[in-house]
Amino acid sequence: MSVDVKKIVLEIIEDVAPDEDLGGLNPAESLRDQLDLDSMDFLDIVMELRKRHKVEVPSEDYPRLATLDSCVEYLSPKFA
């Protein structure tokens, strides 16, 4: 069964930045431009991926988490 990576990422963002409205997010657009996320929040997204799903994201790969689409593309193989 395939994992819904998008849902996983959204769940994490919801916990890391509870005051953000995640409705109407454009998956192709930068998360940073649409939400008030800074580097501390991105660190938390990476830390939560490790804590909850044992998925490692090395720091050189952080840019690949820029949009929801790129998150899915980059993370899916790691969940396979």
Partner 1 sequence: MSYDAIIIGAGMSGLAAGIRLAMYGKKVVVLEKHTISGGLNSYYQRRIPSTKEIFQFDVGLHALTNFAKKGEKRKPLTKLLRQLRIGYDELELCEQTFSQIHFKSAKLNFSNDFELLQSEVKSIFPEEFDNFQKLYQYILEFNEVNLNADYLSAKKVLESYIATPLLREMLIAPLLIYGSAWENDMDFSQFVIMFKALYLEGFSRPRGGVRTILSLLENKFKEVGGELRYRSSVESIEYNESGVSGVVLKNGEKLESKKVFSSAGLPETMDMCQKDKRSIIGKLSFTETILVFDKKIKHSENEPTIIFYNDSDQYNYQRAQNFYDASSAVICFPDNYESQNKDGHGVARLTFMAHFDQWNNLEKPDYLTKKNEVLSESKRILKNLNVEQSEIYSDVFTPTTIKRYTNHFDGTVYGSTTKYRDGQTKIDGLYIIGTDQGFLGIVGSMLSGISISNLYGLME
- Residues of this chain that interact with partner 1 (CB under 8 A) are 15-19, 36, 38, 40-41, 43-44, 47, 50-51, 59
Query: In the complex, what is the shortest distance from the CB of residue 20 to partner 1, in angstroms, rounded to a whole number?
Result: 9
CA dihedral (76, 35, 42, 53) positive or negative: negative
**Closest CB to partner 1 among 58 and 77?**
58
CA 3 to CA 16: how far, in whole Å? 21
CA 80 to CA 70: how far, in whole Å? 16
Query: In the complex, what is the shortest distance from the CB of residue 43 to partner 1, in angstroms, rounded to a whole number?
Result: 6
